[in-house]
């Protein structure tokens, strides 16, 4: 083992983890560890080098190590390619071989890669040396308990959980808290945590990347805090805090008609009409129009969005609303309109695409993934000071909803947002988020294509 224990190419914080894991394996301690490293901080490279060292050290023995990830493609495939690159780098590319779609062998030693997706069938495998769980915050705890953990039960293999924190219900957080409790009891370090400042101290280019991300997302963005500073998202809370709401307050006036030479985008949340089931009051149909301001210093940067007008219809017949929408879009001529095409919104989007050929109408079906994208987009724009709502009493309902809108952070780093029914509706918030999405990727006189809302 000593002959291949080369740590010269790793950073000090990676070396700490590798030494602890390898000591547990070599001494057959069967410990488990949790490792949180800031995004792009070298967690995957650490894992690949561990796998390489074990293959090289145990190539004369019939042993298996296993790495599980939330998905096989792309996560396991990327991990396989990274390990293969380390083998080729060491001149072992001709000696090692790939077996099937999920195995790399060097001599008699094997490294398997398995999907930890809920529907995957991985029962029966054995990890003699090491069981790694990648992105453990996205692996179902029951899946781990029933199908993955038994892989080291009879072998005394070592287990490593990698990931970044999300909330207190994840497998990663459960492992972390268990490890910290054991550390307090016996003094053996089992949890390793290195935030973005630690990574940046060893890589000036990473520091520049970190500052760009801080500017782009905002220092209080839940994704930034989770991925770079390893802070778990709260279980629930307000979507926008006081600072973000203050940044949203614009000084520009509301417009009653478009101004010549300006570029507009729009978001449309489609509500129901009167007489619906149970007499329940429906959300309104809300059209949000935003004016784009392009930064002169960096034309390729995301534009600022100044909301200049809202139009809302509550309980009106769909036919009359459709006609009014077509007329307004013909007047304002936004370059792009993103429409909530969930349920009754789908035919509305199709109608507007036919009625307004000069407007790029994009249907946006709200799934957990696509709504999460909208929520993150709204928070990011607010944090960056790229979104402002016109001044005046006419925006009162928009502000009421923004102040009451709640956020819930779910598994898979998904964000849901809504206004509790007891507090009213969220139609203005959704319409605003759709308008921000409509502005995404915009640039002066540059063509834009369609995107899949679930491709995030």
The Cα–Cα gap between 88 and 94 comes to 8
Look at residue 73 and tell me if it is in a domain.
yes
Say how far residue 429 (Cα) sits from the centre of its chain: 20
Per-residue pLDDT at 56: 97
CA distances from 61 to 5, 54, 94, 438 (A): 18, 11, 19, 58
State yes or no: pLDDT of 1 exceeds 60: no
Q: Over pLDDT 90: what percentage of the chain?
A: 78
State whether 419 and 284 are in the same domain.
yes
Q: How confident is the model at residue 3 (pLDDT cuts 50, 70, 90)?
A: very low
State yes or no: pLDDT of 449 exceeds 50: no
Alpha-carbon dihedral 194, 229, 159, 234, rounded to 10 degrees: 150
Look at residue 444 and tell me if it is in a domain.
no
Angle between helices 368-383 and 204-217 (to 10 degrees): 100
State whether 257 and 197 are in the same domain.
no
State whether 73 and 189 are in the same domain.
yes
Per-residue pLDDT at 280: 39
State whether 181 and 262 are in the same domain.
no
Give the pLDDT mean for 241-254: 93
Q: How many domains does the chain have?
A: 2
State whether 165 and 260 are in the same domain.
no
Give the pLDDT mean for 291-304: 82
The residue ranking higher by pLDDT, 251 or 421, is 251
State whether 200 and 239 are in the same domain.
no
State whether 106 and 16 are in the same domain.
yes
User: What is the arrangement of strands in the sheet containing 64-69, beginning at the earlier edge strand?
Assistant: 97-99, 103-106, 109-115, 64-69, 130-133, 158-163, 32-37, 191-194
Residue 156: CATH number of its domain: 3.40.50.300
State yes or no: pLDDT of 230 exceeds 50: yes
State whether 185 and 269 are in the same domain.
no
Burial track 97-124 (b if 16+ CB lie within 10 A, e otherwise): eeeeebebbbeebbbbbbbbbeeeebee
**Cβ neighbour number for residue 431 with a 10 Å cutoff:** 31
Say how far residue 187 (Cα) sits from the centre of its chain: 35
State yes or no: pLDDT of 243 exceeds 50: yes
State whether 290 and 427 are in the same domain.
yes
Give the pLDDT mean for 16-38: 98
User: What is the arrangement of strands in the sheet containing 304-313, beginning at the earlier edge strand?
Assistant: 249-253, 387-391, 304-313, 285-293, 264-269, 336-340, 360-364
Look at residue 211 and tell me if it is in a domain.
no
Residue 382: CATH number of its domain: 3.30.420.240
**Cβ neighbour number for residue 245 with a 10 Å cutoff:** 16
Per-residue pLDDT at 273: 62
Q: How many CA atoms are closer than 13 Å to the CA of 18, on its beta-carbon side?
A: 25
Look at residue 228 and tell me if it is in a domain.
no
Give the pLDDT mean for 67-93: 96
State whether 45 and 165 are in the same domain.
yes
The Cα–Cα gap between 385 and 85 comes to 42
**Structural domain that includes position 255:** 235-439
State whether 105 and 19 are in the same domain.
yes
Domain boundary among 151, 184, 204: 204
Going by their DSSP bridges, the two strands 32-37 and 158-163 should be labelled as parallel
Look at residue 47 and tell me if it is in a domain.
yes
CA distances from 195 to 9, 138, 164, 210 (A): 20, 19, 10, 11
261 contact partners, CB below 8 Å, separation of at least 6: none
pLDDT in tens, 192-211: 999 999 999 999 999 999 99
Q: How confident is the model at residue 237 (pLDDT cuts 50, 70, 90)?
A: confident
The answer to whether residues 439 and 304 touch, using CB atoms and an 8 Å cutoff, is no
Per-residue pLDDT at 23: 98
Per-residue pLDDT at 282: 66
Q: How confident is the model at residue 450 (pLDDT cuts 50, 70, 90)?
A: very low
Give the pLDDT mean for 300-317: 91
Look at residue 402 and tell me if it is in a domain.
yes
Look at residue 57 and tell me if it is in a domain.
yes
**Cβ neighbour number for residue 133 with a 10 Å cutoff:** 28
Look at residue 230 and tell me if it is in a domain.
no
State whether 417 and 319 are in the same domain.
yes
State yes or no: pLDDT of 424 exceeds 60: yes
State yes or no: pLDDT of 219 exceeds 70: yes
């Amino acid at each position: 083992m000593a002959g291949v224990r080369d740590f010269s190419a790793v950073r000090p914080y990676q070396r700490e983890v590798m030494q602890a894991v390898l000591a547990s394996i070599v001494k057959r301690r069967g410990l488990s560890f949790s490792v949180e490293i800031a995004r792009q901080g070298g967690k995957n490279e650490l894992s690949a080098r561990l796998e390489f060292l074990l293959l090289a050290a145990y190539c004369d023995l019939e042993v298996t190590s296993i790495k599980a990830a939330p998905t096989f493609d792309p996560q396991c495939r990327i991990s396989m390619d990274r390990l293969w690159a380390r083998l080729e780098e060491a001149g072992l590319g001709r000696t090692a071989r790939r077996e099937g779609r999920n195995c790399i062998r060097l001599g008699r030693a094997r490294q398997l890669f398995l999907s930890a997706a809920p529907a995957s069938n991985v029962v029966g495998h054995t990890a003699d040396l090491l069981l790694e769980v990648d992105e453990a915050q996205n692996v179902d705890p029951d899946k781990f308990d029933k199908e993955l953990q038994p892989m080291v039960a009879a072998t005394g293999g070592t287990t490593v959980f990698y990931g970044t924190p999300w909330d207190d219900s994840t497998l990663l957080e459960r492992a972390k808290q268990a490890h910290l409790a054991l550390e307090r009891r016996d003094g053996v370090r089992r949890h390793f945590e290195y935030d973005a400042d630690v990574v940046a101290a060893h890589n000036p280019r990473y520091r520049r990347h970190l500052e760009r991300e801080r500017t782009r997302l905002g220092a209080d963005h839940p994704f930034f805090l989770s991925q770079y500073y390893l802070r778990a998202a709260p279980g629930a809370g307000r979507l926008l805090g006081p600072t973000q709401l203050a940044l949203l307050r614009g000084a520009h006036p509301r417009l009653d008609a478009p101004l010549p030479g300006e570029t507009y985008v729009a978001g449309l949340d489609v509500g129901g009409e009167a007489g619906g089931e149970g007499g329940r009051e429906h959300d309104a149909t809300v059209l949000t129009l935003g004016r784009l301001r392009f930064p002169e210093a960096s034309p390729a940067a995301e534009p600022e969005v100044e909301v200049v007008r809202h139009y809302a219809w509550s309980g009106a017949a769909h036919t009359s609303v459709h006609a009014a929408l077509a007329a307004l879009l013909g007047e304002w001529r936004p370059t792009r309109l993103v429409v909530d095409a969930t349920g009754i919104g789908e035919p509305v989007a199709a109608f507007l695409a036919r009625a307004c050929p000069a407007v790029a109408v994009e249907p946006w079906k709200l799934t957990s993934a696509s709504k999460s994208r909208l929520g993150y987009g709204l928070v990011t724009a607010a944090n960056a000071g790229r979104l402002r709502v016109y001044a005046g009493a006419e925006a009162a309902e928009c502000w009421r909803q923004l102040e009451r809108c709640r956020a819930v952070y779910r598994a898979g780093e998904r964000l849901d947002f809504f206004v509790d029914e007891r507090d009213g509706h969220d139609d203005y918030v959704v319409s605003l988020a759709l308008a921000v999405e409509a502005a995404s990727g915009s640039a002066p006189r540059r063509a834009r294509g369609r995107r899949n809302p679930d491709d995030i």
